[in-house]
A = this chain, B = another copy of it.
C-alpha cells in the first residue's frame, strides 16, 4: 500500500495492513518532525508533493525492493501539508518471514525515497524559512 495523505498517519491501521499469517518480522520506520535542525528552532514543516509522480516513484522503489528481498507486505505513507514537532511525516512498513529482509528492505525504501521522490520540505523557523536541500 502506497499513499500520500494530508491526514495524520495512523500507525495502528498501517500495522494491521502489514500483518499476514506468514510474517515473522515487521520493521516499521517512522520519520518524525524534530524540534531542531542545525541548532535553529523549527516552528513547523511544510511538505508538498507532486502527488502523481511521487506515487509512481514510490511504486518503482517498492517494486525494486520486492525484486531484491522476499517481502510479504509493505506500506509506504507520506504525509504532506503543515506538520509540527512530534508529528509523523513518513511511515515505511515491511513484513517478511525473516527479520534481515524486513530491516534491509525498509532501509532501502526510506533511503531511496529521500533521493528520488518529488516531495519537498520547507523548514519554517521563528526567524525565516528554507526549502531543505534546495538552497543555492
A: residues with CB less than 8 A from B are: 11-12, 15, 19, 21-36, 85-86, 95, 97, 99, 102-103, 106-107, 110
Cβ contacts A to B, 26 pairs, < 8 Å? A11-B11, A11-B12, A11-B15, A12-B12, A19-B32, A19-B86, A21-B36, A22-B34, A23-B32, A23-B34, A24-B34, A25-B29, A25-B31, A26-B29, A26-B30, A26-B32, A27-B27, A27-B29, A27-B30, A27-B106, A28-B30, A29-B99, A29-B103, A31-B99, A103-B106, A103-B107
B residues less than 8 Å from A86 (CB atoms): 19, 21
How many monomers of this chain does the complex have? 2
Tell me the minimal C-beta distance from A89 to chain B in angstroms: 9
Known: A12-B11, A99-B110. A28 touches B31 (CB 8 A): no
Question: B15–A24 contact, CB under 8 A?
Answer: no
B residues less than 8 Å from A12 (CB atoms): 11-12
